[in-house]
Structure 1
Amino acid sequence: MGRMSSLSEGDRYVAVHDSARFTTLRRRQRTFTLWAGAVFTGWWFLASLLGAFAPGFYRQMIAGDLSVGLLVVLATFVLVLVIAAGYLRYARATLDPLAEQIRADLEGAPR
């Protein structure tokens, strides 16, 4: 993309927004969040449907006071943590280098 110091301040941001690098960055970010959102939403709907139409399933005891329902709730917390950790790893490896290139081009900083 090159340095954009010859453009006015507003035009530089418009040029970055219209650039292929920025489009690639947004597409990669949206792709990850779409899949992560679909996984979590699917899990949430499955858990809700089981609770609504098969409440006896959640009442089954596994060991002592541990029921299937409690395991589903705990698995939901684990799923949120896994998605967050996955996004951090994906962002660090894929999104951040591209964003750094865009920032460097915008600010005119040497790489």
Structure 2
Amino acid sequence: MGNEAPIAEDAAPVADFAALRESEKFRTLKRRHRSFVFPVVIACLLWYVAYVLLAAYAHDFMSTRVFGSVNIGLLLGLAQIATTFIVTTWYVSYANKHLDPIATEIRDSVEIPEALTDKAGR
């Protein structure tokens, strides 16, 4: 503790979230996120609806045996599950490469430096 002067409450930096929302980096982050998420969500929903419609109205097609007791309906159902894992892996990879670096820059620009928080006792 020694000779350290206390830091006044009003001396701590305050993040301006309105300005942050309007910054070019934040707009880039939102644009990149939306350009990935919206098309993928639409494609997945269409794929799911197609599966449901086939199951409801194309009984003969869905019951076509592929081998043994396995039919097209079962394979498409398993493909639905696989799609979830594939899209999740794809998104994580995309986020790591294209979203996280910008988010880190934004976060680092608004965080209170650790030295200030230690001295202020927060």
TM-score of the aligned structures, taking structure 2 as reference length: 0.77
Offset at residue 59 of structure 1 (A): 0.7
Judged with a 3 Å threshold, the aligned counterparts in structure 2 of structure 1 residues 107 and 8 are, in CA distance, closer, same or farther, namely closer
The answer to whether the 8 Å contact 2:13/2:112 transfers is no
Q: CA RMSD in A?
A: 1.9
Q: Are 2:58 and 1:29 equivalent residues in the alignment?
A: no
TM-score of the aligned structures, taking structure 1 as reference length: 0.84
**Distance in structure 2 (CA, Å) of the matches to 1:56 and 1:66:** 14
Q: Are 2:58 and 1:54 equivalent residues in the alignment?
A: yes
Which 5+ residue runs of structure 2 have no aligned equivalent?
1-10, 114-122
Number of residue pairs aligned between Structure 1 and Structure 2 = 103
SS in structure 2 at match of 1:57 = helix
| Larger Rg over CA atoms | 2
The answer to whether the 8 Å contact 2:29/2:102 transfers is yes
Which 5+ residue runs of structure 1 have no aligned equivalent?
1-5
The answer to whether the 8 Å contact 2:66/2:72 transfers is yes
Counting only pairs closer than 5 Å after superposition, residues 89-108 of structure 1 correspond to structure 2 as 89-107=93-111
